Amino acid sequence: MMQTLREGYIDNQHPRDKATPSGASRFNPFTMGATQPTTSVNLASSFSAPPQPFFEDSRPSDSSVYLDLASERQSMRTSHRDLEHELLQSMRSLDLMPKSHAVSNEIPSIFESVVAGGSMAPLPQEKQFFILSSAGKPVYSMHGQDELVMGLMGIVHTVISYFKVHNTKMHSIVNSCGNHVKQKFVFLDKTPIILMAMSSREESVNDLLQQLDFLYSYLICTLSRRQLTRLFSKRDNFDLRHFLTNTDFQNLNHICDSISNGFNPDFLLGALRCLTLRKSTRQTLHSIMLAQVQHPDVAAQRNTILYGLIVAPGGQLCSVLRPRGHTLHTTDLHLLFSLIFNQFQGLQDDQELWLPICFPKFNSSGFLHCYIRLLAHENPQKKSKKTPSPEALEASVDAQHEGAHKLVSSKPALVLISAQKESFFALKKIGQGIVSELHNKNLLEQIEAASTLGFTMADIPAKFVHHFIYKSKKHVQYIMPRLDDLDLYNMSASDDARSTFSANDENASVENDPDPINNGTSDAKVRQKAYLYKLMRYYTHIRNNAMDESGSAFNRSTLTFVQWSNDGMRLNDLPQGEEVDTLCLAWLTPNFELFLICNNGVSDRNTILKSAKNIVDWCRKNEDRLFVKNGAVF
Amino acid sequence: MLQFKLVLLGDSSVGKSSIVHRFVKDSFDEFRESTIGAAFLSQTVKLEKHQDVTIKFEIWDTAGQERYKSLAPMYYRNANAALIVYDVTQPGSLVKAQSWVEELKHKVGDQDLVICLVGNKLDLCEADSSVRQVEIDDAQTYAQEQHLLFHEVSAKTGAGIAKIFQEMGEKVYERKTAESAASAATQPRKTLNVELQRPSTNDSTSCCA
């Protein structure tokens, strides 16, 4: 089934996209990213897949009714959910649900690949990361397959040497076929370590470089640059694999997986996600930390503490304690959060961790020492025992959610950072002071509630917007609406009687799932993962349409629409009976970056522009709630 | 309550964290992540030998990986008790344990420190005796020569775990009471607690130097 999907831009001047050889449809070009945002591209040739897997969109969601319900849900929280079910059921029986194309609350899947499993090529992956030593010894390969990878090391090494000999600034190879980019190979030479990334997705060279830098930063964070250099100074052909431990490889696997298959705007935007909190709550957090640090006993021992952080599940920043004039680099914090929320979740509540860590962007040859403690809410049973008010239901759904993703931990963490390896007990004392204050003021509950509830699209007067990401450049932080809006109904299918919405999904399986599971929960997990992945690729795509390969915007301020639409396809030929007509927007200015994805079927750009403005206004107005502005400065 | 500092040392993946976990939570996790840095936690023990005496262990569960070795002095300095763990199926881990014993005797001074040598993963030998690589007699002889307490345990089944901490608790308690009785006359009201806070050194940047 070949579909011709078309992608256009607001200033579309080159309608030269109609005919494209269908044979090339298996590969991904990102031609538009490399050229100008005025190019329009035939989608069929753009992506590896005819947009076949619409399965996950197969609920009867193509209805404005559903949308209205969702947006009113906020205000209707007190009413019983069953009422909604009944309402929907009666509407269905009356055949009120519009069957034809209307504004949908979902976004279509256009990035899915059909290659999976089909190709017999030895390294069929869409994405690959290699780490090797300058002598050509393999250190790490994302997909394993060592025997295959070994042979490639020589080639990678040769390419790097070529770059070196020719002394170019170039560090990438783009394998293209006509207009279409098949793969990008990006190299990062950090002698004695070489890193390479391969991608056949819509990532820019700069994106891939950032990803490589993060992998390299992980190595530095555990070894430090000084030790790395020393290891290789003895012998060029030192085998780093013997020095790294299982934990390191697991962490590298985890990082690669979360970059490649997860929803991780952190890497894409180079920013931290911030937890939405009341201004007063955040202020209280700041002042609690500050009070402990400025306590006479502590203040006497200067330089004991460098930084303090309270971070909510998923690496959402709550509060920062820092010395005047100093901040921590985003990459360093990403590394720290990735360790906390992937590795230390087995930590008991009363266990405290004293961790030497090298922050590569802070000082790549020295170690800092982190006091880490998970902040458990006092009564873990409470949540599940609550009467099922809508909030509680949502909360428990969220909890399941987080169980579904190992990425997301359910406990916030307190981190105190010192330069002195002997200061554990000093920090422990500060930490205990902070923790008991947090308990006294019930702040942990608030953090927890905020991290599971967040805000939704319904909180913002932005019509037709499915989801958005807003990054404040000044704060190097970003925010986005809660992600589980859509699947909320499906998720509850597992602990509830089958809801209306899940009825159609029972036999649906998601592409790439080798063993389709009809069990409600696992199905929902898979669907949620696929949904997040889809969202991530949308964002990557729209961001790279507003930026060149090196990651800088085309203009100081750029506003770009990207539209995907069916090109003269009959409705019957579409898997869902729903047209693809998706509009996205990227708006970059010196102060903020806004990326938004509209609901399927929205094509009124003026309305979207208005919504975008409303979002920006809303974010600015609520800046104190949305971002950690100064933090607690001492 | 009397507090005592206890440190766990030993090669990586011999089961230090599992022993602590068994002691503190009385549970076992087959797939434990290896420790990075060190984890600190405390647990009280009611002494059986001495009525109404409860002591508190402040436990440093250290990482066994070689790269964290240079941090070890920070954890064992001032310790009242050390648990040196090896894996009965890994002869190399006993060698490593012996080098820890040497280091402790050298750096800490024997008289202040109760050292217990612990062979872990006994459950593996019970299932199949051929996997045992360290004979109990060899380890025991070594422990006697060095005046160490000695036990073989299994963190997985829990066998022998409580006993180690009970015995160590009694030992450190007896030493402490003897010591404080001796010094009571000269230094009344001296705090019974161990000194936890150390003056900081300026060695701020290096971890694995």
> Is A356 near chain B, with CB under 8 Å?
yes
Residues of chain A with CATH 3.30.450.70: 127-264
How does residue A477 score in pLDDT terms, banded at 50, 70 and 90? very high
Alpha-carbon distance B198 to B191, whole Å?
A: 16
CA–centroid distance for A364 within its chain: 26
> Does A353 contact B33 at a Cβ distance shorter than 8 Å?
no
Identify the residue whose tokens are 């593996």. B124
DSSP-derived 3-state class of residue A19? coil
Strand order in the sheet with A127-133: A138-141, A127-133, A193-199, A180-190, A172-177
Dig out the tokens for A79 from the structure: 């009413």
> Is B12 near chain A, with CB under 8 Å?
yes
Q: Is the pLDDT of residue A73 over 80?
A: no
Q: Is the pLDDT of residue B9 over 90?
A: yes
**Would you list the DSSP string of A31-68?**
HHHHS-TT--EEHHHHSSS-S---GGG-SS---HHHHH
Nearest Cα residue in chain A from B64? A245
> What angle separates helix B161-184 from helix B16-25, to the nearest 10 degrees?
80
How does residue A20 score in pLDDT terms, banded at 50, 70 and 90? very low
Establish if B141 belongs to a structural domain.
yes
Q: Is the pLDDT of residue B122 over 80?
A: yes
Residue B41: which of A304, A351, A369 has the nearest Cβ? A351
Q: What integer pLDDT is reported at residue A604 of this predicted model?
A: 83
Residue A139 vs residues A242, B94, B166: alpha-carbon distances, Å: 9, 30, 45
**Would you list the DSSP string of A581-616?**
EEEEEEEE-SSEEEEEEEPTT---HHHHHHHHHHHH
Nearest Cα residue in chain A from B209? A227
CA–centroid distance for B14 within its chain: 13
Establish if B120 belongs to a structural domain.
yes
Q: Is the pLDDT of residue A71 over 80?
A: no
Residue B2 · residue B16 · CB < 8 Å: no
How does residue A81 score in pLDDT terms, banded at 50, 70 and 90? low
User: Of the candidates B133, B104, B131, which has an alpha carbon nearest to the alpha carbon of residue B117?
Assistant: B104
What is the residue-averaged pLDDT of chain B? 84
Q: What integer pLDDT is reported at residue A19 of this predicted model?
A: 36
Dig out the tokens for A163 from the structure: 């770059």
How does residue A31 score in pLDDT terms, banded at 50, 70 and 90? very low
Q: Out of A175-189, A339-353, A423-437, B32-46, which region has the weakest mean confidence (pLDDT)?
A: A339-353
Give chain A positions within 8 Å (CB) of B207: 224, 356, 358, 366-367, 369, 421
> Is B178 near chain A, with CB under 8 Å?
no
Task: Tell me the nearest-neighbour CA distance from A287 into chain B, angstroms.
Answer: 26
> Is A422 near chain B, with CB under 8 Å?
yes
Q: Is the pLDDT of residue A450 over 80?
A: yes
Higher pLDDT, B93 or A570: B93
> Does A245 contact B74 at a Cβ distance shorter than 8 Å?
no
Task: Tell me the nearest-neighbour CA distance from A372 into chain B, angstroms.
Answer: 9
How does residue A357 score in pLDDT terms, banded at 50, 70 and 90? very high
Q: Out of A26-30, A311-315, A630-634, which region has the weakest mean confidence (pLDDT)?
A: A26-30
How does residue A53 score in pLDDT terms, banded at 50, 70 and 90? very low
Q: What integer pLDDT is reported at residue B187 of this predicted model?
A: 59
User: Of the candidates A39, A42, A41, A46, which has an alpha carbon nearest to the alpha carbon of residue A14?
Assistant: A39
Q: Is the pLDDT of residue A2 over 50?
A: no
Dig out the tokens for A238 from the structure: 């030192």
CB-side neighbour CA atoms (13 Å) of A11: 7
> Does B34 contact A247 at a Cβ distance shorter than 8 Å?
yes
> Is A249 near chain B, with CB under 8 Å?
no
- Chain B stretch 67-86, residues whose beta carbon is closer than 8 A to a beta carbon of chain A: 67-68, 71, 74
CB-side neighbour CA atoms (13 Å) of B77: 11
Nearest Cα residue in chain A from B37? A355
Residue B109 vs residues B60, B79, B123, B146, B182: alpha-carbon distances, Å: 19, 11, 34, 13, 19
Residue B33: which of A301, A343, A428 has the nearest Cβ? A343
Alpha-carbon distance A37 to A15, whole Å?
A: 13
Nearest Cα residue in chain A from B75? A422
How does residue A573 score in pLDDT terms, banded at 50, 70 and 90? low
Alpha-carbon distance A608 to A614, whole Å?
A: 10
Residue range A437-456: mean pLDDT, rounded:
88
Q: What integer pLDDT is reported at residue A519 of this predicted model?
A: 54
Q: What integer pLDDT is reported at residue B189 of this predicted model?
A: 54
Give chain A positions within 8 Å (CB) of B196: 425
A264 Cβ neighbours under 8 A, 6+ residues apart: A258, A536
Alpha-carbon distance A349 to A503, whole Å?
A: 40
Task: Tell me the nearest-neighbour CA distance from A402 into chain B, angstroms.
Answer: 20
Q: What integer pLDDT is reported at residue A95 of this predicted model?
A: 46
Q: What integer pLDDT is reported at residue A391 of this predicted model?
A: 43
Alpha-carbon distance B167 to B149, whole Å?
A: 9
Q: What integer pLDDT is reported at residue A435 of this predicted model?
A: 93
Q: What integer pLDDT is reported at residue B140 of this predicted model?
A: 92
Q: What integer pLDDT is reported at residue A572 of this predicted model?
A: 53
Tens digits of residue pLDDT in A113-130: 444 444 455 556 788 999
User: Of the candidates A632, A292, A288, A291, which has an alpha carbon nearest to the alpha carbon of residue A430?
Assistant: A292
Q: Which fold has domain A127-264?
A: Beta-Lactamase (3.30.450)
Q: What integer pLDDT is reported at residue A392 of this predicted model?
A: 40
Residue A425: which of B32, B37, B197 has the nearest Cβ? B197
Residue A350: which of B41, B206, B208 has the nearest Cβ? B41
Q: What integer pLDDT is reported at residue A433 of this predicted model?
A: 92
Tens digits of residue pLDDT in B65-102: 888 888 888 888 888 999 999 999 999 999 999 999 99
Q: Is the pLDDT of residue A339 over 60?
A: yes
> Is B32 near chain A, with CB under 8 Å?
yes
Q: What integer pLDDT is reported at residue A45 of this predicted model?
A: 37
Tens digits of residue pLDDT in A539-567: 998 898 888 877 787 778 888 888 877 66
> Does B208 contact A224 at a Cβ distance shorter than 8 Å?
yes
Domain span holding position B161: 2-184
Q: What integer pLDDT is reported at residue A552 of this predicted model?
A: 80
> Is A355 near chain B, with CB under 8 Å?
yes
Q: Is the pLDDT of residue A10 over 60?
A: no
> Is A199 near chain B, with CB under 8 Å?
no
Q: What integer pLDDT is reported at residue A83 of this predicted model?
A: 63
Tens digits of residue pLDDT in A406-418: 333 478 999 999 9
Q: What integer pLDDT is reported at residue A335 of this predicted model?
A: 92
What is the residue-averaged pLDDT of chain A? 73
Higher pLDDT, B181 or A14: B181
CATH no., domain A277-453: 3.30.450.30
Three-class DSSP labels, A452-509: HHCCCHHHCCCCCEEEEEEEECCCCEEECCCCCCCCHHHHHHHCCCCCHHHHHHCCCC
In A164-214, DSSP assigns E strands to: 172-177, 180-190, 193-199
DSSP-derived 3-state class of residue A515? coil
> Does B38 contact A354 at a Cβ distance shorter than 8 Å?
yes
Mutate which of A219, A221, A254, A354 to test chain B, going by most B C-beta atoms within 10 A? A354
Alpha-carbon distance A492 to B1, whole Å?
A: 49
CATH number at residue B30: 3.40.50.300
Residue A245: which of B65, B205, B208 has the nearest Cβ? B65
Establish if B25 belongs to a structural domain.
yes
How does residue A520 score in pLDDT terms, banded at 50, 70 and 90? low
Alpha-carbon distance A522 to A505, whole Å?
A: 13
Mutate which of B3, B40, B198 to test chain A, going by most A C-beta atoms within 10 A? B40
Q: What integer pLDDT is reported at residue A148 of this predicted model?
A: 79
> Is A150 near chain B, with CB under 8 Å?
no
A13-37 residues labelled b (16+ CB within 10 A) or e (exposed): eeeebeebeeebbbbbbbbbbbeeb
Cβ contacts from A onto B, under 8 A: 93
Q: What integer pLDDT is reported at residue A498 of this predicted model?
A: 28
Tens digits of residue pLDDT in B126-145: 888 888 899 999 999 999 99
Give chain B positions within 8 Å (CB) of A421: 71, 74, 203-204, 207
> What angle separates helix B136-145 from helix B91-107, to the nearest 10 degrees?
10
Alpha-carbon distance A60 to B179, whole Å?
A: 78
> Of A176-180, A186-190, A381-385, which has the strongest mean pLDDT?
A186-190
Q: Is the pLDDT of residue A330 over 60?
A: yes
> Is A351 near chain B, with CB under 8 Å?
yes
**Would you list the DSSP string of A237-279?**
T--HHHHS-HHHHHHHHHHHHHHHHS--HHHHHT-EEE----H
A168-197 residues labelled b (16+ CB within 10 A) or e (exposed): eeebbbeebeebbbebbbbbbebebbbbbb
Identify the residue whose tokens are 């080798």. A514
Residue range A349-364: mean pLDDT, rounded:
89
Q: How far apart are the first and last CA of chain A?
A: 63
Higher pLDDT, A401 or A168: A168
Dig out the tokens for B204 from the structure: 């701020």
Q: What integer pLDDT is reported at residue B169 of this predicted model?
A: 92
**Alpha-carbon torsion, ordered A193, A172, A594, A525, to 10 deg:** -70
Identify the residue whose tokens are 């405390």. B42
> Does A428 contact B40 at a Cβ distance shorter than 8 Å?
yes
> Is B195 near chain A, with CB under 8 Å?
no
Establish if B42 belongs to a structural domain.
yes
Q: Is the pLDDT of residue A524 over 80?
A: no
Alpha-carbon distance A17 to A465, whole Å?
A: 27
Mutate which of A353, A370, A374 to test chain B, going by most B C-beta atoms within 10 A? A353
Higher pLDDT, A299 or B160: B160
Residue A426: which of B32, B68, B197 has the nearest Cβ? B197
> Is A246 near chain B, with CB under 8 Å?
yes
Dig out the tokens for A201 from the structure: 């997705």
> Of A167-176, A526-535, A573-582, A618-627, which has the strongest mean pLDDT?
A618-627
Residue range B12-31: mean pLDDT, rounded:
89
B198 Cβ neighbours under 8 A, 6+ residues apart: A422, A425, B77, B78
Which residues are bridge partners to A595 per DSSP? A469, A586
Tens digits of residue pLDDT in A582-627: 888 999 999 999 999 988 878 788 888 999 999 999 999 999 999 9
Residue B200: which of A224, A246, A420 has the nearest Cβ? A420
> Is B194 near chain A, with CB under 8 Å?
no
Q: How far apart are the first and last CA of chain B?
A: 38
Establish if B106 belongs to a structural domain.
yes
- Chain A stretch 300-329, residues whose beta carbon is closer than 8 A to a beta carbon of chain B: 301, 304
In chain A, what is the greatest distance between 2 CA atoms, to the nearest angstrom?
79
pTM of the predicted model over 0.95: no
User: How many structural domains is chain B composed of?
Assistant: 1
Q: Is the pLDDT of residue A372 over 80?
A: yes
> Does B196 contact A358 at a Cβ distance shorter than 8 Å?
no
Q: What integer pLDDT is reported at residue A158 of this predicted model?
A: 87
Give chain B positions within 8 Å (CB) of A219: none
Give chain A positions within 8 Å (CB) of B65: 245
Tens digits of residue pLDDT in A246-284: 888 988 998 998 888 888 888 889 999 999 999 999 999
Alpha-carbon distance A483 to A341, whole Å?
A: 19
Residue range B152-161: mean pLDDT, rounded:
91
Q: What integer pLDDT is reported at residue A468 of this predicted model?
A: 93
Residue A40 · residue A14 · CB < 8 Å: yes
Dig out the tokens for A151 from the structure: 């042979």
